[in-house]
Amino acid sequence: MDYQFLQKTPLFSGSSLDEVKSMLDCLGAEQKTFAKGETIYHAGDTAQSMGLVLSGRVQIENDDLWGNKSVLDSIGPGLVFAETYACIPGEPLMVTAVASEPSEILFLNGARILQTCPSACLHHSKLIRNLLTISAQKNLNLSRRIFHTSSKSIRGRLVSYLSYQAARNKSLDFTIPFNRQQLADYLSVDRSALSNELGKMQKDGLLTVDKNHFCLKEDVCD
């Protein structure tokens, strides 16, 4: 286990290496590997443990009865998923968590996080504060997706999402965590229509794109 890596994650922020080791023992930590495309949690499952991505990437999806998919989030190394469900016993997941590439996941028992033990109460206090911050950030991410998908036009949705990515990366030249299909799912649009619109935006001189790498021109953010 790479304790130094864990120490730098948002969940264990502010903890010493010894505290991280102690908390992993207390939280019943279990490490598992998943192949690309393998489902980690299905919608309808109940989750006793949240997942912390050690390597790879996990995609959070919502599929309807007709097979339409919406991508809600992409979880990279150091970040957690299913934390809300792990902290609410018996609550079925409304989403599916899938490994979008070969991934290593560390599972942590949610009930043990919320029920502090006498021997590590200070450690747990840090953990709970960090978890609250993470949950607040997740709420912001969901709100942000609502903004990105509020426009009726595909171009409007692309401009909203790409402008945010430029601001987040502090550069007009950046790489997004989605491939073309995943971006279409995230923005709730048809992939072909998305590709056509990106082609039009390139012809209009608003951006250049190579797979998931974008270079925006100033006008697209205006």
The residue extents of the domains of the chain are: 3-148, 154-221
CATH (one of 1.10.10.60, 3.40.50.360, 2.60.120.10, 3.60.15.10) for 3-148: 2.60.120.10
Over residues 84-105, the pLDDT tens digits come to: 999 898 999 999 999 999 999 9
Beta strand segments in the chain, E? 30-34, 39-41, 49-63, 69-75, 80-81, 96-109, 173-175, 207-210, 213-216
Q: Is the pLDDT of residue 60 over 60?
A: yes
Over residues 69-79, the pLDDT tens digits come to: 788 888 999 99
Cross-sheet strand order for the sheet of 207-210: 173-175, 213-216, 207-210
Whole-prediction pTM value?
0.74
State how far the Cα of 13 lies from the Cα of 7, in Å rounded to an integer: 6
* CATH annotation of 154-221: 1.10.10.10
Quote the mean pLDDT of the chain: 91
Over residues 155-169, the pLDDT tens digits come to: 999 999 999 999 999
Would the CATH topology of 3-148 be identical to that of 154-221? no
Over residues 17-51, the pLDDT tens digits come to: 998 998 898 888 999 999 999 999 999 999 999 99
